[in-house]
């Protein structure tokens, strides 16, 4: 489980906008689409407010490591495999296509990689609906201090 801590900035409907400090786990995270980068060190993450946190609460966000590994394979490894496979197949068919082997390899590689990217985008639409690959609010670490009312003096 990959976890980060942050402070709830605001509640919008049933979602919480959490400000977190970017950690090393952010670099390889595939759920960056749900994050809004504020600057080099801070970002805002929108998560479901399942724990009914309030603005100012310190919360822990988490994402299963297995989900992160699946996303990494899907986004990084499969397009590379598709590029190599497309290049080899196109090179093998280059003569029958009346093309230069190098040109066919490049076109075949990029074509196969493009097809895989479209498949990944299509799969992403379904994953967005399930929320399976999005960070979740795991627990409330500290409640926000209620504002102190000033007594008339």
Q: What is the pLDDT of residue 12?
A: 87
CB 71 within 8 A of CB 133: yes
Q: Residue 39 has what pLDDT? A: 55
Which CATH fold topology does 2-64+135-142 show? OB fold (Dihydrolipoamide Acetyltransferase, E2P) (2.40.50)
**pTM, entire model:** 0.56
Report whether pLDDT(130) > 80.
no
The pLDDT score that the predictor gives to residue 58 is 92
Residue carrying structure tokens 């980060």? 4
pLDDT confidence band for 84 (50 / 70 / 90) = very high
Question: Where along the chain do the CATH 2.40.50.140 domains lie?
Answer: 2-64+135-142
- Asked if 105 and 91 count as a contact pair (C-beta separation under 8 A), the reply is yes
pLDDT band at 102 (very low <50, low <70, confident <90, very high): very high
State the chain's mean pLDDT as an integer. 81
Note the pLDDT tens digit of each residue in 31-83.
555 555 555 567 888 888 989 898 889 999 988 777 778 877 888 888 999 99
**Residue 89: which pLDDT band, with cuts at 50, 70 and 90?**
very high
Contacts 24+ apart (CB under 8 A), 69-73: 70/133, 71/30, 71/31, 71/133, 72/28, 72/30
* Percent share of the chain, pLDDT over 70: 77
């Amino acid at each position: 489980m990959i976890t980060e801590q942050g402070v709830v900035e605001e509640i919008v409907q049933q979602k919480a906008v959490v400000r977190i400090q970017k950690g090393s786990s952010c670099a390889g995270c595939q759920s960056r689409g749900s994050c809004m980068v504020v600057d080099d060190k801070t970002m805002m993450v929108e998560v479901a407010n399942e724990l009914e946190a309030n603005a100012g609460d310190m919360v822990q966000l988490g994402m299963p490591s297995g989900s992160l590994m699946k996303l990494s394979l899907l986004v990084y490894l499969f397009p590379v495999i598709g590029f190599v496979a497309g290049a080899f197949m196109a090179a093998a068919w280059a003569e029958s296509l009346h093309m230069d082997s190098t040109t066919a390899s490049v076109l075949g590689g990029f074509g196969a990689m493009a097809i895989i990217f479209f498949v990944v985008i299509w799969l992403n639409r379904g994953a967005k609906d399930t929320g399976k690959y999005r960070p979740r609010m795991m627990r409330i670490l500290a409640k926000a201090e209620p504002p102190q009312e000033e007594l008339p003096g």
